[in-house]
Amino acid sequence: MAAAKKLSIPTLAERIEALEEEVDEALDALAEERRPKGEGRALPADSVRRMWEAKAAGNLFHAWLIACKETRS
């Protein structure tokens, strides 16, 4: 009889950390995609991201939700 494999279930903290990394990368990509580009109105992607984070009071997850809502409009 084969030995049973023990499943490794990530803790809540591990899942949150992984999700934070994913959201962090996604916010960077979305900010680069959505930043104004063009003569006289160009804006760095990190400025766009900081605006979303400011609206979300620094909460990364809320910033993502705000960014998604703004990009759908």
Can you give the pLDDT at residue 73?
64
Instruction: For residue 51, give the H/E element and its range.
Output: helix 45-55
Query: Considering the entire predicted model, what is its pTM?
Result: 0.78
Domain that holds residue 59: 43-73
Q: Is 68 helix (H, G, I), strand (E, B) or coil?
A: helix
Report how many domains make up the chain.
1
Can you give the pLDDT at residue 46?
95
Burial 41-61 (b: 16+ CB within 10 A, else e): eeeebeebbebbbeebeeeee
Angle at 51 between CA 65 and CA 53, to 5 degrees: 50
Residue 14 lies in a domain: no
Q: Which residues of the chain have pLDDT under 70?
A: 1-4, 73
Residue 10 lies in a domain: no
Residue 8 lies in a domain: no
d(CA 67, CA 73): 10
Can you give the pLDDT at residue 3?
64
Can you give the pLDDT at residue 2?
60
